[in-house]
Amino acid sequence: MELTVYLAGQIHDNWRDEVKKKSRERSLPLSFVGPMENHSRSDDIGEEILGEQPGNIAKDDAASDFNNLRTQVLLGKSDIVIALFGEKYKQWNSAMDASAAIAMNKPLIIVRPKDLHHPLKELSNKANVTVENVDQALQAISYIFEEE
C-alpha cells in the first residue's frame, strides 16, 4: 500500500523538501503532491496563461483559478493531508485546504509551533493530529504501516 500525501501550507521556504528527504530516509511508501512552490510563478500564473489582467484584483483572481484547479485535482488524489502553519503570513488558503480535507473525510495532520496553539485551537480540534514538527508528522504516518 502506497499513500499519497498533500502538503498544504506556505510556499515561502522549502519545508516540503525536508518532508520528502526525511520520508526517503525512513523508506516510507509515500508520494507527495502540493501547490506550486515557486511563489512568484504561483502569483503570476493567471497572467502567464491568460495574458495581462486589468489590475491586481483581476490578476489575483486569475491566478487563483489555476491554483485552485491544481489543488482540487491533487487534494482529490491524496490519502492524507499535512498542513503546516507558521508565525508569518495570513495562511488562509492553508486553513481552507485543511478544512476542505476534513470535509472530504481525508485524514489531516497539522504541524505548528507550540505557541500557535491558541489561534489554531478550533482547527486542531477537528484535525486528526496536531504536532510541532515535520518529524512527528512522519512518525504519525509511519505508525500507520508499522506492525509491532
**Integer Cα distance of 43 and 59 in angstroms:** 8
Question: Residue 68, interface with a second copy (CB under 8 A)?
Answer: yes
* Interface of this chain with a second copy, residues 6 to 25, rule: CB under 8 A: none
With CB under 8 A as the contact rule, the residue among 30, 76, 86, 88 that binds a second copy is 76
Nearer to a second copy, 18 or 58 (CB): 58
Task: Report residue 38 as a C-alpha cell.
Answer: 515557486
> Strand runs (DSSP E) across the chain, as ranges?
3-9, 30-33, 80-84, 108-111, 129-131
Nearer to a second copy, 2 or 25 (CB): 2
Nearer to a second copy, 24 or 69 (CB): 69
The dihedral sign for the CA sequence 133, 135, 141, 147? negative
Binding mask 85-124 for a second copy (x = CB under 8 A): x---xxxxx-xxxxxx-xxxx-x-x----x-xxxxxxxxx
Distances (CA, A) of 115 to 46, 54, 63, 81, 89: 36, 41, 32, 22, 16
With CB under 8 A as the contact rule, the residue among 25, 27, 56, 88 that binds a second copy is 56
